[in-house]
Chain A
Amino acid sequence: MKTAYALFRPGGHLGLASIGVVVASFVVFEISGALAEEKDAGAGQIRQSTYAALAEAPEKARVKKNPLEGDAEAVAVGAKLFEQHCAECHGRNAGGTKKGPSLLREEVHQATPGTLFWILTNGVVRRGMPVWSKLPEQQRWQIVTFLKSSTAQSESPQSAKPAPH
């Protein structure tokens, strides 16, 4: 009890640390918020460039074959992995959220499995998508197999346009 009092008493180390935490948190949230705002500005442009990342995949990656293509189990596993790792940003039905774009759009549907695998591996760090190479290669292919099995849906007439290549 005595120890606990010493830690929490006014002017104690933990009291000072608490102030530090609150100030540091405020700074971090403000900076990350400002970065997010910058991303939100001109949402149309950002959206376009988000999908444009698909076109950045090198040819070698683009033509890579999905080793699990047509594997029904891979679709089921991919759905589970998608829910665990991707749904937070891309939505449970992959339709997109404020944090991440829809994966049901024509651009994604038309992308090769190799391209999606490349995006998953490298992320789009400047747009907030982290790299997912920490998932083993097989699991990344399982997610790609699930995504390719999902039906492409048009969100708007504009979304029907193919991704710029």
Chain B
Amino acid sequence: MEIRTEESIVAHLISEAIRQKFPGRILIAMIFSLLFCRSSLVLAQESPYIVTYNHYLEEPGSLEVEYFSTFGTQRGGNDFHAFWAEFEYGATAWWTTELYLDGQTTFHDSTVFTGFRWENRLRLLQREHLVNPVLYIEYEQISGADKILKEIEGHDGESDSADSNAALRKEHKHELELKLLLSSTFKGWNVAVNPIVAKNLLPSEPWEFAYAIGASRPLTLKASPNRCNFCLENFVAGVEMYGGLGNTRSLGLHDTSHYLAPALAWNLPSDWTFRLSSGFGLNDNSHRLLLRWGISREFSGFGEMVRRWFGGQR
């Protein structure tokens, strides 16, 4: 009964927003309704990776709402705090789709919204194999002020983000990014390798290359009988390494940046996951430190719930 009441309130909020033609309010109503709605108890089993992807997709019908922050040091400019929200939906067991909204604050400068990304991950093989491939396709429309540094591509380096936000925002990027997510899980260890190619959709721009690799393992493999927040089984530790590999005009490691980042995920029985990662720049072209943290919550049965909001029968 209680769930029905919450749903009817949410349905009312959304229909009012639609009636008044405020798309922004629709989005805000949806986000707030999510925060307050109840979902079934599902323990997320998230990896600690923030940049690297393994082959596990979102469960069908589940929505994961995530918020991430990156604090970055900047030589020749002001340090920054970049942040992004992710809405990750399991459309089917083999297709996950995800929307990102990016922004950043550069200290002693300003706070700006820097763009959005839409990514899709498609599982290529039905069953588990020694190496499991997943195809990743992303379209991004961001400004030059985007500093979330989720992908380090081509000859990206620290000096690219040294300018003021006003100057950086003049650059607009429409990019297509393709990754092959190769991942293997054995004896509790996950190893993931992501070769990356990216193309600014301007014809004059070259194809850029990059990589991300990661390894992770839960702190213990056997679960305990008690429901607990601090059990070792809830923690997954790992390490990531990522960086650029040049572009079609100038392939190689010169003028590229690279990072090594130990990471930890804490999966709580209450559906919440916390992630922490500190990335250390490996050469002079890299930011010295990228300290990242994130919080996420999984809403299982979200697809069903939305269909009911809009009067669907399932």
Chain A residues within CB distance 8 Å of chain B: 3, 6-8, 12-15, 17-22, 24-25, 28-29, 31-33, 35-36, 40, 73, 76-77, 80-81, 83-85, 87-88, 98-99, 121-123, 125-131, 133-139, 142
Q: How long is the Cα–Cα vector from A22 to B24 in the complex, in angstroms? A: 9
How far, in whole Å, are A36 and B60 apart by their CA atoms in the complex? 10
User: Which chain B residues lie closer than 8 Å to A8 at the CB level?
Assistant: 24
**A134 CB contact (under 8 Å) in B45, B91, B118, B225:** B45
Chain B contact residue count (CB 8 A cutoff): 61
Q: Is the CB of B94 within 8 A of A125?
A: yes
Bound complex: CA of A138 vs CA of B115, how far in Å? 43
Determine whether the beta carbon of A138 is less than 8 Å from that of B221.
Answer: yes
Question: Are B185 and A14 within 8 A (Cβ)?
Answer: no
Best-surrounded residue of A20, A77, A131 (most CB of chain B within 10 A):
A131
Q: Which residues of B contact A (CB under 8 A)?
A: 23-24, 26-27, 40-43, 45, 47, 54, 56-57, 59-61, 87, 89-95, 97, 99, 101, 103, 110-113, 115-116, 118, 123, 126-128, 185, 187-188, 190, 218, 221-227, 233, 269, 300-301, 303-304, 306-307, 312, 314
Whether A80 lies near B225 (C-beta < 8 A) is yes
| B190 interface neighbour in A32, A129, A134, Cβ under 8 Å | A134
The reply to whether B42 and A88 contact each other, CB–CB distance below 8 Å, is yes
Interface pair B91/A98, CB less than 8 Å apart:
no
A81 near B223 with CB under 8 A, answer yes
Contact B187 A137 (CB under 8 A): yes
Shortest B216–chain A CB gap in Å is 10
Closest partner residue, chain A, to B94 (CB atom): A125
Q: In the complex, what's the smallest C-beta–C-beta distance from A70 to chain B, in angstroms?
A: 16
